Amino acid sequence: MDCLFCKIINREIPADIVHEDDEILAFNDIDPKAPTHMLVIPKKHIATLNDIEEGDLSLVGRLQYAAARLARDQGFADDGYRVVMNCNEDGGQTVYHIHMHLMGGRRFTWPAG
Ligand code: 5GP
Ligand code: ZN
């Protein structure tokens, strides 16, 4: 499958991996928008948030749980952080394999741009 993140999962493309378990991979974003900017992804290929099915609900929960644990491990859980999932063109999605941006280490503004 011609998917960048599936290639990272399969080790066809290198990445700075920070967490891996049977269902989830997390790695540093190549173009960080914060002092810490990781992408937390399911190993299962799901193209967009619109493609999540009922059978994926626990996986999506695990994604969020992994992000929160990584935030704690990075030391910014209490100060706060930003989690973002972009969907399709208007949402700013550029890689069509769902991913949670976990950003921390600075103060974020709201609303997002
Ligand atoms: P999106 O715009 O789809 O929400 O986010 C895609 C993210 O993937 C961007 O933040 C971009 O910097 C990151 N990205 C794109 N290509 C690569 C890559 O080859 N390696 C890594 N580690 N991140 C990538
Ligand atoms: Zn994929």
With respect to residue 84, please indicate whether it lies within any of the assigned structural domains. yes
Report the separation in Å between the CA atom of 18 and the middle of ligand 1, taken as the mean of its atom positions.
15
19 is known as an active-site residue: no
Q: How many domains does the chain have?
A: 1
Domain containing residue 56: 4-104
Out of 13, 16, 20, 29, give the residue to mutate to test ligand 1, the one with the largest number of ligand atoms within 8 Å of its CB: 29
DSSP code at position 108: P
**Ligand 1 center to 107 CA (angstroms):** 21
Q: Is residue 111 part of a domain?
A: no
Q: Residue-wise pLDDT tens for the chain (113 aa)?
A: 799 999 999 999 999 999 999 999 999 999 999 999 999 999 999 999 999 999 999 999 999 999 999 999 999 999 999 999 999 999 999 999 999 999 999 999 999 98
Cα of 30 from ligand 1 centre, angstroms: 6
Ligand 1, atom 12, lies closest to the CA of 31
Residue 2: predicted pLDDT? 94
Would you say residue 69 lies in a domain?
yes
Q: List 36's β-bridge partners, or say none.
A: 104
Residue 85 within a domain: yes
For the Cβ of 95 lying below 6 angstroms from any atom of ligand 1, the answer is yes
51 within a domain of the structure (yes/no): yes
Residue at 112 is within a domain: no
Rounded to two decimals, the pTM is: 0.98
Q: Is residue 110 part of a domain?
A: no
- Give the pLDDT score at 5: 98
- DSSP code per residue over 5-50: HHHHHTTSS---EEEE-SSEEEEE-SS-SSSEEEEEEESS---SGG
Q: Is residue 54 part of a domain?
A: yes
Domain harbouring 57, CATH code: 3.30.428.10
